[in-house]
Amino acid sequence: MNARLSRLRAIARRLFSRAAVEREMDDEFKSHLQHRADDLERRGLARDVAERAARVEFGGVEAQKEAARDVRSWRLWEELRANIAFAARGIGHHPIQSLIVVTTLTLGIGISGVVFSVMNALAFRARVDHDAASFTRVLLSYSTDTSGPGFPGAVPLGDYLAFARGVHSFASITGWQRAQLTLSDGARPTPSALVTCSFFDVYGPVRPIAGRMLQRDDCESHAPVAVIGNELWRSAFGGDTGAVGRVLRINGQTIRIIGVAPTFSSASTDDQLWLPYTLREPLHLGPNDPASPNAIRLLMDGRLAPGATRGDAFAEIRVIAARQDRLPGNSGRRTTVFVNDGSRIAAPGNGLVLGSILAVIFVGLACLALVATASVVSILLAIAHSRRTEMALRMALGAGAPRLAAMLGTESLALACVAGATASALTFRLPRILLEWIVQRPVNFSLTPDWHVFAFLLVTTMAAALAAANAPIRSVLALDLSSTLRRAPDPTGGARRGGRWNLLMSVEIGGAAVLLVATIALTRLPARIANAPPRFDAGHVLAMNLRAPQPAVQGGGWRSFHDDLARSLSAVPGVRGVAFATAQPVGDEATGATVVKTAAGVSHTLPSIEISPSYFDVLGLGVARGRVFTMADADCSAAVCPAVVSREAARELWGGVDPLGQRLTLDATHALVVVGVAADASSKIAEPVQALMLYTPWRPNARLYQPFLKVDDAKSGVVRRVSSLVSERFAGAVAAPETVEAELALITDAFQRIGEAVGLMAAITALLAICGIYGVVALAARRRLKEMGIRLALGATRRDVYRAMVAPNVRPLAVGLVLGVVFATVSALEADRLLAQEFPVRLADPTAFLGAALALAVAVAVAMLVPARRATDADPAIVLRQE
Amino acid sequence: MPPVELLPGTIDLLILKAVSLGPQHGYGILLRIEHISRGYLPIQQGTLYPALYRLEDRGYLATEWGTSENNRRAKFYTLTPEGRKQLRDERSSWEQVVAGITAALRATPESL
């Protein structure tokens, strides 16, 4: 043990007192030489001869020391320390270039990390704060379901209760349904959820800020109680803990607040009010009877029991679902079960759409990484080139290739690590700030990076370090010792470094061009939105955003409900017209998609809306050809039903051919015939893509259609009047009227902010790429100061010096610029094609290209001319002395 | 008999043996090995110190500065308990090798 301790002490001393260790080695060798000289002297040699002979016998002291150092176990640490010192010296000699390298890598890794972190939080994990591994979502689809205003994947109460009783693979299970509940007349509805009383166990443990969470008894006793959220507590009760015990009036009922929930991650992330689902009937939202066809449908989430897997849960749920299918009330029903981890990407049908969006984003990130890497590599190559004499000397003195590679690699690794650490800090802080700025409200779910994000950052940092180290190491190892040490003349001053150099410059300029184009296109987006003419009367159309319980069939069903609603709303002062539809024409998530086949046999997927006859009139959309729908077109059950297409859709489907009378096949037995062509309903943000539209007649008895009102002045109190009318006349119905213009503004604002955020990031990165180009060219020029000094001293004119400095760089930079702009054009066109279905942004914008090319040309010209000017201003005598 | 070249790996064994006979400084170890090997195994000066440092690094030797027989300051090496054990192990391995090689060399056609 003592020996080990003393050994550790010795190692520590050698590591931290290197000078003392070296001194001790010197003393020992000196002592050895003296003893040997004493011996030789005793054999009759004169002292000075004996000392010389001892030295000769011993050999080179430095070589002996190096051999002695090599056997030490701390040698590795010593080398590491030497490498770090070398890296620090290198960074100190090129502070500007090193700063650009670190900043470029930080932004490259940081932006990728932030985007990855946001994507990961939004798409790849369940919205839970604890133990995501045990969280499980169960989604069911029923063969007897018709499309309607339900919640896809939700389970009727009867089935939920059967599952809750019968499953053993879940430790806890909950069901919930979102609702919009109005706390006072005329106020905006509060996002709420009707939940089973185990909700907070599955999403928790959630510790209340005040009071308590829901308990099993609350559901069984039908107690009129609610838990409110942090935001509602602060806005409605000023954050007073006395709010617990106070009452809320909801749909004419008194509900007592029993607790205040903190902000926590959950699928009902925006909700601020949680009530037992058994209050549905007292709140006039629908029956509580599980056997009723209008029973509540609940989304089902749970926590796996210890040792259970999602496979176990799936098997169990499937057995119970099959049993439920055999019940008398469910004849002919077949249930399909989906069990997943609760992430969006795992939701049925989401994988392909989300996957393609993610693919586009990752291609963008790859572009960014390419530019950042090219920029960093070219700067490090330039630095390595400037050090080639030093490296050649080290090689001549015996430093092996691995040693030199380690030295250069440490420098790249150090720069990449600093960048990686800074990027990690950004990734920790930025996603929430960015997302909250884009959506303009607090984000109520966890965005904390998980191990996936840190693994991504680590891999990216290491990849950056490897990419950054590879080229400089290879360039130094390929050095021709003799020519480098003899300083063989290089007529281009190192500017002509072959295809790799030109390729790097091209990639860098190309990447900078792409990023500049993106920057200009995205920052011009707000102006394009503001200047684009609205094509329908969005400011005078109110979308009612209505929610209503299913009306009883004996009372006339949905048809009667729609008739009553239309009559009542038409009577409200200020309302000029009422129409019903599944969606507004632009930016509405409720817009459907219909696959149609033209007579030529070509398939198209068109956005589609079911509308009542007055829709075009209410929205102020002209009908260019043919006719609008009539009441006779409603509930069409014929083999061929009428349809109206937008002008853009007509162009897309039939080009210049007259669209009227054209047939669109839906399936083997159903088809549409075009009876009218409507004006394109592009809004301020909508470009032609969104003007594609297929209108079909509504089926007023099939489901709830959203009412749209044409109003004189949306600010005249009509909003309050129609809102009150709905809640007074229709039990359980809640409306949240808003002008279509205001709803579109939410989308345009979000797009604007996304545009600004992405534009800012792209601008910074493009700027860094330009700085990189400048850094490389300037460094190459600085090394030629001596040559220029000689030329000036020999009588060269300033013009000659300019030409000598600029000429070698013109070709690679011009090639880079041309290749870059071609690359940017191809990328932008391809990005437009890929993104066309999702985003109304055009990157292939001639102004953007012109701006980007000009900016780059200016940057490159400055990068060449500034060092050239410095060379011509230099005093030859001073420059030559310095070298 | 003329001096012979050391077999690879045997310098450590010789140094451990030399130091086991009493603390000694580097030059003294060199002379002691020559002495105890009856001059058959001269040590190259270039190989002595790397071997000494390696053995010290592994914890087989401890060091202390003192005064030599020439009245000069010198760094003395002593064997640690681990060094003693190592010497025993290496010696036993060596004896096995020697026995094996000797037996092999004495083999005759009749013994096959």
- Chain B residue nearest residue A75, CA to CA: B57
CA–CA min distance B95, chain A (Å): 27
Q: Return the H-helix or E-strand segment holding A425.
A: helix A401-439
Interface of B with A in 9-28 (CB under 8 A): 25-28
Residue A533 DSSP class: P
Q: Cα dist. A11→A2, A4, A6, A873, B53 in Å? A: 14, 10, 9, 55, 12
Dihedral through CA A146, CA A151, CA A154, CA A155, nearest 10? -50
B78 touches chain A (CB under 8 A): no
Q: Are residues A441 and A559 in the same domain?
A: no
Cα separation, A573 vs A563, whole angstroms: 18
List the Cα angle A663/A669/A671 in 5-degree steps: 20
DSSP run (H or E) holding A85: helix A75-93
What local confidence, expressed as pLDDT, does residue A437 receive? Answer: 83
Q: Which residues of chain B does A7 touch, with a Cβ-Cβ cutoff of 8 Å?
A: 57, 59
Instruction: List average pLDDT for each run of 10 residues in chain A, which is 883 residues long.
Output: 61 66 87 92 92 87 75 71 84 85 87 87 84 89 56 79 92 88 64 90 85 89 90 86 87 87 80 90 81 83 93 93 87 84 78 67 72 79 77 76 82 89 91 84 80 88 85 75 55 47 67 71 61 68 81 78 92 92 74 80 82 91 88 88 91 87 87 91 51 88 87 84 84 79 72 72 72 70 73 81 76 72 73 59 69 77 76 68 54
Q: What is the pTM of this model?
A: 0.63
Q: Which segments of A576-717 does DSSP mark as H helices, in order?
A: 615-619, 647-654, 688-691
How far apart (Å, rounded) are the C-alpha atoms in residues A847 and A521?
Answer: 8
Counting beta carbons within 10 angstroms of the beta carbon of residue A552, is it exposed (0 to 12), middle (13 to 18) or buried (19 or more)? exposed
Amino acid present at A517: V
Half-sphere exposure of A85 (CA within 13 A, CB side): 6
Q: Which residue of B has its CA nearest to A32?
A: B27
Phi, psi of A541 (to 5 degrees): -120, 125
Please answer yes or no on whether A31 and B28 come within 8 Å at the CB atom.
Answer: no
Residues A569 and A663 in one domain: yes
A and B: number of Cβ contacts within 8 A: 67
Query: Any CB–CB contact under 8 A between B69 and chain A?
Result: no
A548, two tokens: 């209503």
> Do residue A27 and residue B75 have CB atoms under 8 angstroms apart?
yes
* Residue contact A71–B54, C-beta within 8 A: yes
DSSP letter string, A693-749: -EEEE--TTTSPPEEEEEES-TTTTHHHHHHHHHHHHSTT-EE--EEHHHHHHHHHH
Express each pLDDT in B2-53 by its tens digit: 666 777 778 899 999 999 999 999 999 999 998 998 888 878 877 888 899 8
Residue A333 CA to residue A306 CA, distance in Å, equals 33
The whole-angstrom separation of Cα A630 and Cα A612 is 8
DSSP A650-696: HHHHHTTS--TT-EEE-SSS-EEEEEEEEPP---SS--HHHH--EEE
CB A175 within 8 A of CB A159: no
Q: Hey, are the CB atoms on B27 and A57 less than 8 Å from each other?
A: no
Distances (CA, A) of A209 to A229, A244, B73: 9, 10, 76
Q: Are residues A143 and A98 in the same domain?
A: no
Say how far apart CA A774 and CA A754 lie, in whole Å.
30
Angle CA A808–A854–A372, to nearest 5: 70
The CA-CA-CA angle for residues A126, A213, A190, to 5°, reads 70
Bridging pattern class, strands A335-340 and A135-142: antiparallel
Verify that A677 and A704 share a domain, yes or no: yes
Cα A360 to Cα A529: distance, rounded to the nearest angstrom: 23
* For chain B, domain boundaries: 10-111
For an interface test with B, the pick among A1, A11, A22, A35 (most B C-beta atoms closer than 10 Å) comes out as A35
3-class DSSP state for residue A670?
Answer: coil
Last residue of one domain, picked from the residues A320, A342, A364: A342
Tokens 């004119």 — which residue?
A797
Longest dimension (CA), chain A: 133
User: Quick check: B27 and A36 CB within 8 A?
Assistant: yes
Determine which of A13, A22, A28 to mutate to test the interface with B (most B C-beta atoms within 10 Å). Answer: A28
A372 and A331 share a domain? no
How far is it, in rounded angstroms, from Cα A654 to Cα A600?
9
**Residues A262/A230, Cβ–Cβ less than 8 Å:** yes
Q: Which single residue is written with the structure tokens 């701006």? A: A851
Closest chain A C-alpha to B56 CA, distance in angstroms: 8
Rounded to a whole number, what is the distance in Å from the CA of B98 to chain A's nearest CA? 28
Does A34 lie in the same domain as A160? no
Residues on chain B touching A4 (C-beta within 8 angstroms): 59
Provide, as residue numbers in chain A, all residues whose Cβ is less than 8 Å from the Cβ of B50.
Answer: 67-68, 70-71
Contact B80 A27 (CB under 8 A): no
Q: Write phi, then psi, for A502 (nearest 5 degrees).
A: -60, -40
* Residues of chain A neighbouring B68 (CB-CB closer than 8 A): 31, 35
- Reading the block at residue A715, the tokens are 């600010």
Residues of the domain holding A118: 78-125+351-488
- Both A196 and A230 in a single domain? yes
Q: Are residues A565 and A695 in the same domain?
A: yes
B42 and chain A in contact, CB less than 8 A: no
Q: What is the DSSP letter of A122?
A: I
Burial grade of A645 (CB within 10 A; 0-12, 13-18, 19 or more): buried
Rounded to whole angstroms, how far apart are CA atoms A9 and A386?
Answer: 42
Query: Helix, strand or coil for residue A258?
Result: strand
Q: How far is CA A612 from the centre of its chain?
A: 39
Tell me whether residues B73 and A70 touch, CB distance under 8 A: no
Same domain for A141 and A114: no
**CB-CB under 8 Å, B59 with A3:** yes
The residues, ordered by sequence, that sit 6+ positions from A853 with a Cβ below 8 Å of its Cβ are A513, A817, A821
Residue in the structure block whose two tokens are 């942004």: A841
Structure token digits, residue A626? 């043919």
- Report angle CA A126, A131, A134 to the nearest 5 degrees: 75
**Residue A456: inside a domain:** yes
The rounded Cα A358 to chain-centroid distance in angstroms is 8
Q: How many domains does chain A have?
A: 4
Query: Which residues of chain A does B73 touch, with a Cβ-Cβ cutoff of 8 Å?
Result: 27, 31
Query: Quick one: closest CA in A to B44, which residue?
Result: A58
Instruction: List the one residue out of A150, A329, A146, A143 whose CA is nearest residue A702.
Output: A146
Q: Do the chains contact at A35 and B75, CB–CB below 8 Å?
A: no
Across the interface, whether the CB atoms of A32 and B27 are under 8 A apart is answered: yes
Question: Is A207 a domain residue?
Answer: yes
Same domain, A102 and A145: no
Q: Which residue of A has its CA nearest to B57?
A: A72
A634: left (phi over 0), alpha (psi -120 to 50) or beta: beta
- HEC string for A487-524: CCCCCCCCCCCHHHHHHHHHHHHHHHHHHHHHHHHHHH
A262 and A360 in a single domain? The answer is no
Cβ–Cβ below 8 Å for B56 and A59 = no
Task: Report ipTM for this prediction.
Answer: 0.92
Question: Collapsing DSSP states into helix, strand and coil, what is residue A33?
Answer: helix
Q: Is residue B72 within 8 angstroms of chain A, CB to CB?
A: yes
Are A554 and A694 part of one and the same domain? yes
Select from A725, A740, A755 the last residue of a domain.
A740
Does B66 reach chain A within 8 Å, measured CB to CB?
Answer: no
CATH, domain range B10-111? 1.10.10.10
Of A71, A73, A75, which to mutate for an interface test with B (greatest number of B Cβ within 10 Å)? A71
